Chain A
Amino acid sequence: MPQLRNDLATDSVIVATRQLIFSLARALVDDPDSVTVAFNERDGLATVILTVATSDLGKMIGKQGRTARSLRTILQAASMKHGVQFSLDIRSLPVSSLDSATPNRAGPIF
């Protein structure tokens, strides 16, 4: 798996992936206005940080983690396709644990 690079192609992939996850999350939750997607790069791993309202956290994860697993499946497929390794971190508001993966690219963009 190639390392994450700061080039236009990678940026394009990241933006597209962010947009996709953002749209999916908004479609699944009751409070779409609370959805934010951040991005963090660390050690060649691109972490997508999805934050939803606390009341929507269960919906985002799904029964037995099914929805979260599907989101990770999508990211894994994108990883293989674009050569950019993604991981998913689902959180709920208030954002209290961003210390472990502080966005260092652009922060929440939606």
Chain B
Amino acid sequence: MIKLRIKFHSETDDRFIITTERTTAGRGRDPLLSKIVYEHEDAFLERIVSADLDPTTTQDLVIAVLLSVARAENAGHWIPVVMTSEQSRILGLSASERPQSNFNESLALSATFEQNPLDLHDFLMNAPTPFAVLSGPRQILSFMNEPYARLLGRTSGSQLLGLPAREALPEPGFELCLGLLERAYKTGEPQVRRELLNSFHQEDTGLLVEAYFDIVYHPVRDAAGSVVNILAQATDVTERVLARQVSEHREQKLYRLWAELEAIYSVAPVGIAVIDATNLRLLRINQLQAAFLGDSRENLENSLPNDPPTASPEIMRLVKLAATGETRTNVLLDRLSSRAESGGPYSVSVRPSLNPVGVVETITLTTLDLGNRYLANDAFRMAAVQTQ
């Protein structure tokens, strides 16, 4: 048996609100069990009769309902009642039970709650995932757990229960959500949106907050197939979205750098290659450097040193030297590769690039064809000085 206390309240627009709390021996009363809104009290009266409560309880509840409607001063008085889980289910005191229904309808949602509705209710209330139920064409908030209230920037959901969604969420930032809700109700199709941006004021701080939600609005139908409830589940994915935005921003920046380098590589009058210092793999090479090595850029990029190596022993020595952290500039070489048909002599420079902890990560190799006297004039003179 479950010990509850119930109170009723009637709005001027005929809405009938039932507030239920569970009372537990030795623990006083538990927090709000449910707050259910009916378009009219008759639907609840039907349930009272069909719930097979003892005659005194039936009488007390019906009188309380009628008095709360007929005389405003009689509304809001708590009525203690004891009932079974099944009776509680029939009365719809499990918050996700559908209001406004005929009591003998077979409800799709109630099947979920059939075994032990209060356990399921407790589960939803304690779930870390935000859940809410909106009822009727006005999408009246009939159930909301604490995570859902926090998600909306509210400190508690109790003030929102019983309100139509448009009144509960007046901020313009929720307009898209409200549109989706209406669409779910009208079409009967679940509405799922990812990373929907909402802006609202936080109740406790008053700050305007922008947050991203993954939202599911799932219509719940009655036996006749009409949509009567919307089960709402939402997840705050703001951190995930912001983290992804940071990554995307970084990736855009990296791409821009890559594109700039690619432009330089393609138009530079010198051969350029970037080599992995650990295994001497050619990470990047421009067309001119590939030509100096007697191969195509496509073949050489990402290739390991050939066995037997096609690069000349001299250039391999310079590269290995750079891998140890040494820098060499304007080294005069006649040939860079056994495959190269002609050209040279070449002025070759190697320079290591260190990672943040000081380890050589890559080697930059630049080569100037000294056969082009016009470009190589200064480099040739410098190389000649170094070799003397």
List residues of chain A with CB under 8 Å of any chain B CB: 16, 19-20, 23-24, 27-28, 59, 62, 66-67, 69-71, 73-74, 76-78, 80-81
Extra pairs beyond A59-B70, A74-B46, A77-B50 (20, CB < 8 Å)? A20-B55, A20-B59, A20-B62, A23-B63, A24-B66, A27-B63, A27-B66, A27-B67, A28-B63, A28-B70, A66-B69, A70-B69, A71-B66, A73-B42, A74-B48, A74-B49, A77-B46, A80-B50, A81-B49, A81-B50
At the interface, yes or no: B104 with Cβ under 8 Å from chain A?
A: yes
Of the residues A16, A28, A71, A74, contact of B67 by C-beta under 8 Å? A28
Encode B374-385 as 1/0 by CB contact (under 8 A) with A. Answer: 000000000000
**Nearest Cβ on chain A to B56's Cβ, whole angstroms:** 9
- A-B interface, 10 closest residue pairs, ranked by CB to CB distance from nearest: A77-B49, A73-B42, A77-B46, A27-B63, A73-B45, A23-B59, A74-B45, A78-B49, A67-B70, A74-B49
Measured in the bound complex, the distance between the Cα atoms of B104 and A69 in whole Å is: 19
Shortest distance between the CB of B67 and any CB in chain A (Å)? 7
Which B residue's beta carbon lies closest to that of A63? B70
Assuming A76-B46, A77-B103, A78-B49, is B65 touching A70 (CB within 8 A)? yes
Which residues of the other chain, B, contact A71 by a CB distance below 8 angstroms? Answer: 66
In the complex, B39 has a CB within 8 A of chain A: no
Task: Let me know if A62 and B70 touch, CB within 8 A.
Answer: yes
Query: CB-nearest residue of chain B relative to A81?
Result: B50
Give, as a whole number of angstroms, the nearest-CB distance from A14 to chain B.
Answer: 14
Are A16's CB and B42's CB within 8 A?
A: no
Query: Could you say which of B49, B55, B58, B103 has the most chain A C-beta atoms within 10 Å of its C-beta?
Result: B49
- A19 to chain B: which residues have CB within 8 Å? 55, 59
Tell me the dominant secondary structure on chain B's binding face: helix
Residues of B within 8 A of A23 (CB): 59, 63
Q: What DSSP secondary structure best describes chain A's contact surface?
A: helix
Of all chain A residues, the one with the shortest Cβ separation from B104 is A80
Q: Is B41 part of the binding interface, using a Cβ–Cβ cutoff of 8 Å?
A: yes
Q: List 17 A-B contacts (CB under 8 A).
A: A19-B59, A20-B58, A24-B63, A27-B63, A28-B66, A59-B70, A67-B69, A67-B70, A70-B41, A70-B69, A74-B45, A74-B46, A74-B62, A76-B46, A77-B45, A77-B46, A81-B49
Select the residue from A16, A28, A78 with max chain B CB neighbours within 10 A.
A28
**B69: contacting residue among A62, A77, A80, A81, CB under 8 A:** A62
Q: Is the CB of B70 within 8 A of A24?
A: no
- CB of B92 to closest CB in A, whole Å: 14
| B66 near A70: Cβ-Cβ < 8 Å | yes
Taking CB atoms, residues of chain B closer than 8 Å to A24 are 59, 62-63, 66
Query: Most B CB atoms within 10 A — which of A19, A70, A71?
Result: A70
B66: which of A67, A76, A77, A78 is its contact (CB, 8 Å)? A67
Instruction: For the complex, give the distance between the alpha carbons of A62 and B72 in Å.
Output: 13
Min CB distance, A103 to chain B, in Å? 23
**Contacting pair A69 B66 (CB below 8 A):** no
Residue of A nearest to B58 (CB): A20
Which residue of chain B has the shortest Cβ distance to A71 in the bound complex? B66
Residues of B within 8 A of A81 (CB): 49-50
Q: List residues of chain B with CB within 8 A of the CB of A28.
A: 63, 66-67, 70
Q: Nearest residue in B to A22 (C-beta to C-beta)?
A: B59
A22 to chain B, nearest CB (A): 10
Contact between B45 and A70, CB atoms less than 8 A apart:
yes
In the assembly, what is the distance between CA of A78 and CA of B46, in Å?
A: 8
- What's the Cα separation between A24 and B66 when bound, in Å? 8
- Which A residues are in CB contact (< 8 Å) with B66? 24, 27-28, 67, 70-71
What's the least CB distance linking B11 to chain A, in Å? 13
Within the assembled complex, what's the spacing in Å between the Cα atoms of A24 and B65? Answer: 10
| Most B-side CB within 10 Å, residue of A20, A59, A69, A74 | A74
Instruction: Provide the residues of chain B in CB contact with A76, threshold 8 Å.
Output: 46
A27 to B62, CA, bound (A): 10
CA distance A20 to B65 in the complex (A): 14
Residue numbers in A under 8 Å from B46 (CB-CB) = 73-74, 76-77
Q: How far is the CB of B12 from chain A (nearest CB, A)?
A: 11
Tell me the bound Cα distance from A20 to B42 in angstroms: 16
Report chain A residues within 8 Å CB of B58: 20
Docked Cα-Cα span, A24 to B45, in Å, equals: 13
CA distance A19 to B48 in the complex (A): 16
Smallest Cβ distance from B327 to chain A, in angstroms? 94
Min CB distance A87 to B, Å, is: 16
**Docked CA distance A80–B65 (Å):** 21
